[in-house]
Structure 1
Amino acid sequence: MPNRLAHETSPYLLQHAGNPVDWWPWSPEAFEEARRRDVPVLLSVGYSSCHWCHVMAHESFEDDDTAAFLNEHFVAVKVDREERPDVDAVYMEAVQAATGHGGWPMTVFLTPGAEPFYFGTYFPPEPRHGTASFPQVLEGVRAAWADRREEVGEVAGRIVRDLSERTLTLSLAEEDADGEDEGAGSVPRPPGPEELHQALMGLTRDFDAVRGGFGGAPKFPPSMTLEFLLRHHARTGSEAALQMVEATCEAMARGGIYDQLGGGFARYAVDATWTVPHFEKMLYDNALLCRVYAHLWRATGSGLARRVALETADFLVREMRTDQGGFASALDADSDDGTGAHAEGAFYVWTPARLREVLGEEDGELAAAHFGVTKEGTFEEGASVLQLPDTEVLLEAGRLAAVRRKLLAARETRPRPGRDDKIVAAWNGLAIAALAETGAYFDRPDLVQAATDAADLLVRTHMDWHARLFRTSLDGVAGAHAGVLEDYADVAEGFLTLTAVTGEGVWADFAGLLLDSVLAHFRGEDGGFFDTADDAEALIRRPQDPTDTATPSGWTAACGALLTYAAYTGSAPHREAAERALGVVRVLGPKAPRFISWGLATAEALLDGPREVAVVGPQDHPATLALHRTALLSTAPGLAVAVGEAGSEEVPLLSGRSLLDGRPAAYVCRDFTCRRPTDDPAVLAASLAARE
């Protein structure tokens, strides 16, 4: 019989609706039930494309005996971490503090008061390599609850106290970068050139000069770090910064982490060479990387960067777009391998024999050599993921294109990985920004339209009359969970990018409404940001974390959106809020640049101004179009671009800007103070390229 998850909208929760475990969604009623029965709560957190979540579900949650024990002695609560990042963040912090690592599935045992007292991630069905089995863990927790309740309560109370003391305030940084005591309760200044140079030096030390990327295995795409380095190069001319971006982007694009047939990136590589991917594809990774490759092309004209940016954008539209016009959260790593069994990567891997079967003997042999497919392979039965391990061209362009079309068509006949159709507001904001810019750079209005359609969906479905956001939707229906800070900030970022590309000021207006909500409901007294609103559901602590992980943190994303909005509107409160909150980047940037890279990228924009360009003239006039395109292709960090008719009030940046002797003109400004206008795209480009 279906459990209570059958009425949820999260695809991940619905995957568990038929389990024999009597699951509850996260709710006050679940904890009230635990109090009534006087039993602990099992909190299980995961997400739909998580490989080990599926493994534990099959091994344990679909097992009748395990389920019977769980149902008798616990209240079982299942949470989709993508739907409730606040719940995930709070308890993941406890898991990491207690065990030194984290991951999903996350398994936490709680008191009926939601206080954690025992932690783990994946537990096997029988003991393995010194790890207790899940049944052993359940029995141990049951016995502790029954026989050592006072001890359990002491542990839970201590953990909650420790977590409450971790609340971050900017005043923790009592010394600035020069060692000068700023005094108790002071706020660090935003980072300056010295701190950003120190961050660059830290990245240089971590850089893998042989294989690209930073650190060792596993390797995750460092999208925000690459964005910082591109902006740093644009501001300073640092060749070292640009070389790290070029080397990393080429290594990823040639590696198995990149889908050489269909475009798009897997979540990470399990090795240090980008060869063997963990095959799940996330919307946020591909949105961020699409933008990075587009920006690399903008900076260098790289043909490889152009190809990857466009292929990734096309992947997003082809495989991730939903019927409502938004973008789905993820594609699973696993799929049917053709025998009825599920295997990781089954949809993507090839053998030499299979290549010959699809392409014929000659093209099959060439394709195997071209894509690095060997008889030994890396996966089961000698299968390999496609990559481009050598710079030698074994298939000329026309023949390669034909080979790729045949292989892609053959792959489409395989059972496809599952797709999580849940629309996450924040990640759609990232996709809007990426598609809008990529479409503008490469004259692809269809991509700009896809970005606009997704933005329309967010306004219609995720945004209420009070400019508050819902975190998720499914099939055009908003979920019940409130948006968190990253939702407001990333959606505002996407809307502001649409303003730059389309000239439609309504998107800046919507961004302003969202950012006003950020300042009203997410800002702390010290100028930092919390991840949840002041009127959100109270958890054992209010989550707050400025560090960037797989996506920009809500904190740093808010800084970036606030700064850009101020550039469009001249709003001093929005700019001052960004500057104040960027103080944390001054403290963390030189010490841990890989973990606050979006904050560093935003600091680059702040140091550059950011510069503002107002292009005035009929929007369909060739001269207006040329000036607008020139501005969009500038690498000036954080550049704000507005385009509209002379006298337009669409965006405040356009206000009062007139034509130049009746001709379309561009004004380059900082803080609304502008230079003499120009009608020459070359002069505009030179002005924006100048480093000051």
Structure 2
Amino acid sequence: MHTNRLSLEKSPYLLQHAHNPVDWFPWGPEAFEKARKEDKPIFLSIGYSTCHWCHVMERESFENEEIAAIMNKYFVSIKVDREERPDVDRIYMAYVQATTGGGGWPMSVWLTPDLKPFVGGTYFPPENRYGRAGFPSLLERIAEAWRSERPKILESSEDVLAQLRKQAEVAPAKAGSGLALDKAALESGFLIFRRSFDSKLGGFGGEPKFPRPVTHNFLLRYHARTKNREALDMVLLTLREMAKGGMNDQLGGGFHRYSVDNRWFVPHFEKMLYDQAQLAISYLEAFQITHDATYSTVARRILDYVLRDMLDRDGGFYSAEDADSVIDPAKPKEKGEGAFYVFTQAEIGDPVFEYRYGVEKDGNVANDPHHEFTGKNILFEARSLEETAWKFEKTEAEVRAAIAVTSARLMTMRSKRVRPHLDDKVLTAWNGLMISAFAKGGAILDEPRYAAAARRAADFILSKMYDPKTGILLRRYRQGEAAIPGFLDDYAFFSQGLLDLYEAQFDTRNLDAALGLTEKQIELFEDKASGAFFSSGAGDSSLVMRLKEDYDGAEPSGNSVALLNLLRLAQITDRKDLRETADRALAAFAPRIMSAPVGVPQMLVAWEYSLSKPKQIILVGEKSAERTGEMLSLLNERFVPNRIVLLIENAETRAKLANWLPVIETMSQIGGTTTAYVCENYSCKLPTSDPRKFAELLQ
């Protein structure tokens, strides 16, 4: 068996390649020095451990002795886990997208020994097919070009890099450009989303359909600002249709990565932590607005799935579960897409369940080009409980009980199958998103398990991945090792999680940590000259450029989240420097916000917040007091996006908070019971200890 340097790494993705015949190196000085010393180009392969086509390219090419021999002869080959090193991934993805018009993973890029890209692509088959060049012939051609056309390659790589740096510049618009920030960007963003909305099946655009919760975040806040019912309805329909589909794990909870069709039916079965976190919040906010238990039920199922299957024993959350899984335990190397999740009709054996979830004798996937689901069924809500009850002449309660019995039996059956690969690294950024979801879930659903999970995960990050002496946050934890200095996403997403945790549970240590991390983030990443934040810190000579990421895609951008954090903290602390930092970032991104709002929906959320007069809700009373609980319940059952919430529980918290907001010194209880102060724009309404009056002040 071959063993290469990746065997010494902690990344599950790199370890998957540790026994390839390819002489892989991790990203680092040893590989760079070898390339320079031997005057060889670098082959850079970027992916992640639950990436389907990464597995395919490994099986076809990287496990092939002949192809590996070509790679080892002509190139220094480097593997990067994009989830560990998003900075490296973003730089070379920008190159691949600019030069090919597309992108994805596995990403394949050839670099000069100085790490400048000159050829790029994604998946390459082992021979010419799918309209793509075969990988071995491509390797030979690139090696020959490196020998015979070196000056041309070097010149080209310099030119492309210069263009990329120019395109990546983020700075305030010039006077008279028409791109100064204007609230018209909110209307423009709404109109663009409306044009692409699927009014029948929900979602935006055609197949494949990806969940993009940042879009929900913007549209719900646009609705709150304008009372435009259409913005709300777009989100609600999308959430309902997604929940019905096979993209929602109907047995175990949680959402798969995306749907290959337009009706959310056939998913790509991978499950990502960041999807669970953001979608849970979308469903929680929909529940706050509608008080419809349909949405809270889905949120609970997501959070319960994460607690059951994605929780590290010390409290952190794992990253992902693979789409592929073993079909037959007797043949462990043969895997199929979604094999863990699908059933034959014979395995189910319950006509009521089968009717409800669209099960058919010969399988229910008609469009199956790769014959992965022959005779199998993807569970989806084909019919409502009401329709099912009518069909079988039962009450809805009887149908619900019968389905619960069958669901439990199928979950037991499924648990005996070989589980998909689990990427068990803990990433600070994604844990920050999940902490927000559990903090909000605990408060909105009044569920102590969720509240405890949020606290425990925050304590995990602060105790194992943060150095209080230096203020440095680390990116990744696995098997007892924390490593890789954190990126903007890590600081921003975790700070957001701590702010949400404070506003749900009122431990001022979380507020202190969020403020300290935000100050460190400004020190490490802010562009003091032009505004906004670089995704990576200064001083890493292996990065050929620093980017200011702004695209809000499957995950929000670090800049969008950092912006909202700054605005919230400025409200809490009344610190002008934080507001000024936020304003500089907004000015820097103004051209992007005004010209392409659809690309930055989470930044639109921050812009909308900055335009508003956020409510400062200050409660004076013990956290455990019954009246405090009543008032918090009234607050948590409402969607009040633009607000901060503070609790004055004792002399210590009063002194701390009054240090930021001196008016707090004068706030006291009425009649010896918890009292609420609701302020806007440095003006407070009359305080009240009456829950009904408090509810009126929240309108």
Q: CA deviation at 1:175?
A: 4.7
Residue 675 of structure 1 aligns with an amino acid whose one-letter code is: K
Could you tell which deviates more after superposition, 620-629 or 603-612?
603-612
The offset of 1:221, in angstroms, is 0.6
- Inter-CA distance 659–60: structure 2 relative to 1 (3 Å threshold): same
Secondary structure in 2 matching 1:29? helix
1:57 and 2:47 equivalent? no
Separation in 2 of the partners of 1:678 and 1:168?
Answer: 50
Find the residue that maps to 1:469 and give its secondary structure: strand
* Distance (Å, rounded) in 1 between the aligned partners of 2:450 and 2:256: 21
Indicate the residue corresponding to 1:275 in structure 2: 265
Given the alignment, which residue of 456, 459, 465 partners 1:456? 459
Could you list the per-position Cα deviations for residues 177-226 of structure 1 after superposition, in whole angstroms to 9, with x for gaps in the alignment? xx3x8xxxxxx44x42x321221111111111011010011111120111
Corresponding residue for residue 694 of structure 2: 684
Contact 2:530 2:588 in 1 (8 A): no
Distance 1:643 1:629, change over 3 A: farther
Query: Residue in 1 aligned with 2:284?
Result: 294
Partner of 2:358: 372
The superposition leaves residues 97-144 of structure 1 with CA deviations (integer Å, 9 ceiling, x where unpaired) of: 000000000000001000101111000111103211110111111111
Counterpart CA distance in 1 for 2:546 and 2:563 is 20
Q: Is the 8 A contact 1:39 1:75 kept in 2?
A: yes
Q: 2:496 — aligned with what?
A: 493
Secondary structure at the residue paired with 2:424? Answer: strand
Task: Identify the residue that residue 6 of structure 2 maps to in structure 1.
Answer: 5
CA distance in 1, matches of 2:539, 2:634: 44
How far, CA to CA, are the matches of 2:406 and 2:694 in structure 1? Answer: 43
1:263 is the counterpart of 2:230: no
User: What does 1:11-30 align with in structure 2 at a 5 Å threshold?
Assistant: 11-30=12-31
Take 1:427 and 1:572, find their aligned partners in 2: how far apart are those partners?
Answer: 29
Q: Can you give the 5+ residue segments of structure 2 that lack an aligned partner in the other structure?
A: 366-371, 390-398
For the residues of structure 2 that align with 1:590 and 1:527, how far apart are their CA atoms?
17
| Structure 1 residue 672, shift from structure 2 partner | 4.9
Matched, 1:570 2:556: no
Shift of 1:428: 0.2
CA distance in 2, matches of 1:173, 1:7: 50
Q: Following the alignment from structure 2 to structure 1, what is the Cα–Cα distance between the partners of residues 173 and 480?
A: 43
The SS at the match of 1:39 is coil
* Correspondent of 2:196 among 191, 196, 206: 206
Q: Give the structure 2 partner of residue 549 of structure 1.
A: 553
> Per-residue deviation at 1:258?
0.5
**Structure 2 residue corresponding to 1:662, chosen from 662, 672, 679:** 672
Contact 2:269 2:322 survives alignment (8 Å): yes
Q: Secondary structure at the match of 1:381?
A: coil
Partners of 1:676 and 1:200 lie apart in 2 by: 36
Deviation at 1:603? 2.2
2:327 to 314, 337, 342: 337
Unaligned runs of 5+ in 1: 182-187, 357-363
2:219 counterpart residue number: 229
Given that 1:556 and 1:582 are in contact with CA atoms closer than 8 Å, whether structure 2 keeps it comes out as no
1:609 to 1:220, Cα distance in 2 relative to 1, 3 A: same
Once residues 82 and 492 of structure 1 are traced to their aligned partners in structure 2, the CA distance between those partners, rounded to angstroms, is 19
Given that residues 570 and 672 in structure 1 are in contact (C-alpha distance below 8 angstroms), is that contact kept between their aligned partners in structure 2? no
Distance, in Å, in 1 between the alignment partners of 2:637 and 2:525 is: 34
Q: Is the 8 A contact 1:212 1:251 kept in 2?
A: yes
Q: What's the counterpart of residue 526 of structure 1?
A: 530
TM-score under structure 2 length normalisation: 0.93
Instruction: Specify whether residues 538 and 130 from structure 1 end up closer, same or farther in structure 2 by C-alpha distance, changes over 3 A only.
Output: closer
Q: Supply the AA of the counterpart residue of 1:354.
A: E
Give the direction of change, closer, same or farther, for the CA distance of 1:87–1:243 in structure 2 (3 Å limit). Answer: same
Distance 1:594 1:195, change over 3 A: closer
- CA drift at 1:477: 1.8
User: What is residue 383 of structure 1 aligned with on the other side?
Assistant: 376
In the alignment, does 2:671 pair up with 1:649? no
The amino acid across from 2:326 in the alignment is D
1:638 equivalent to 2:642? Answer yes
Rounded Cα–Cα distance in structure 2 between residues aligned with 1:521 and 1:160: 24
Q: CA RMSD in A?
A: 1.7
Q: Name the CA distance, whole Å, in 2 between partners of 1:593 and 1:403.
A: 46
Q: Does 1:217 align with 2:217?
A: no
Q: 2: CA distance between counterparts of 1:165 and 1:457?
A: 40
Deviates more, 1:9-18 or 1:102-111: 9-18
Q: Is the 8 A contact 2:363 2:373 kept in 1?
A: no
- 8 Å contact kept, 2:345–2:363: no
CA shift in 2, pair 1:650/1:501, >3 Å: farther
State the partner residue of 2:485: 482
How far the C-alpha of 1:404 sits from its partner, in A, is 1.5
Report the 3-state secondary structure (helix = DSSP H, G, I; strand = E; otherwise coil) of the residue aligned with 1:606.
Answer: helix
Partner SS for 2:46? strand
Q: Equivalent residue of 1:127, what SS? A: coil
**1:360 paired residue number:** none
Per the TM alignment, residue 15 of structure 1 is displaced from its structure 2 partner at its CA by 0.9
Distance 1:646 1:322, change over 3 A: closer
TM-score normalised according to structure 1 size: 0.94
Does the CA-based 8 Å contact 1:602-1:638 persist in structure 2? no
Q: Percent identity?
A: 40
SS in 1 for 2:677: strand
Q: Give the stretch that moved more between structures: 162-171 or 45-54.
A: 162-171
Corresponding position of 1:582? 586
In 2, the alpha carbon distance for the partners of 1:566 and 1:304 equals 36
C-alpha distance in 2 between matches for 1:446 and 1:429: 17
The reply on whether 1:31 has 2:32 as its aligned counterpart is: yes
Q: Deviations over 1:466-507 (max 9, x none)?
A: 21211111123202x221111100000000011011110110
1:510 maps to 2:513: yes
Q: Cα distance 1:472–1:671, how it changes in 2: closer, same or farther (>3 A)?
A: farther
Contact 1:297 1:305 in 2 (8 A): yes
Distance 1:669 1:24 in 2: 57
Maintained 8 Å contact 1:224/1:552: yes
CA contact (8 A) 2:616 2:644 kept: yes
CA contact (8 A) 1:45 1:107 kept: yes
Q: Distance in 2 between matches of 1:5 and 1:655?
A: 58
- Alignment coverage as a number of residue pairs: 670
Alignment of 1:284 with 2:279, yes or no, is no
| 2:531/2:587 contact within 8 Å kept | no
Match of 2:422 among 419, 422, 427: 419
Asked if 1:244 is matched to 2:234, the reply is: yes
Which residue of structure 1 lines up, in the alignment, with residue 413 of structure 2?
Answer: 410
Secondary structure in 2 matching 1:377? coil
Instruction: Give SS of 2:69's match.
Output: helix
- Alignment-derived partner of residue 434 in structure 2: 431
Q: Secondary structure at the match of 2:10?
A: coil
- Any conservation in 2 of the 1:495–1:511 contact (CA below 8 Å)? yes
Pairing partner for 1:601 from 587, 594, 605? 605
C-alpha deviation, 1:93, in angstroms: 0.2
Offset from partner CA, 1:614-643 (integer Å, 9 cap, x none): 111011111111112222333222321122
In the TM superposition, residue 594 of structure 1 has moved relative to its aligned partner by: 3.4
User: For the residues of structure 1 that align with 2:409 and 2:606, how far apart are their CA atoms?
Assistant: 43
What secondary structure, in the 3-state scheme, does the structure 2 residue paired with 1:497 have?
helix
Secondary structure at 1:76 match in 2? strand
Relative to structure 1, the CA distance from residue 672 to residue 314 in structure 2 (aligned partners, 3 Å threshold; closer, same or farther) is: farther
Q: Which residue of 2 aligns with 1:307?
A: 297
Q: Please say if residues 612 and 672 of structure 1, whose CA atoms lie closer than 8 Å, have aligned partners that are also in contact.
A: no
Please give the alpha-carbon distance, in whole angstroms, between the structure 1 residues aligned to 2:378 and 2:564.
Answer: 37
Deviation sequence 1:261-284 (CA, Å, 0-9, x none): 111011111111111111100000
How far apart, in 1, do the equivalents of 2:589 and 2:226 lie?
19
Q: CA deviation at 1:402?
A: 1.7
Task: Give the structure 2 partner of residue 184 of structure 1.
Answer: none
Distance 1:384 1:591, change over 3 A: farther
Q: What SS does structure 1 have at the residue aligned with 2:655?
A: coil
- In 2, Cα distance between equivalents of 1:672 and 1:475: 49
Distance (whole Å) between structure 2 residues aligned to residue 610 and residue 678 of structure 1: 19
Q: Which amino acid aligns with 1:389?
A: A
| Structure 2 counterpart of 1:409, one-letter code | T
3-state secondary structure, aligned to 1:380: coil
Alignment-derived partner of residue 162 in structure 2 = 161
CA distance in 1, matches of 2:613, 2:364: 51
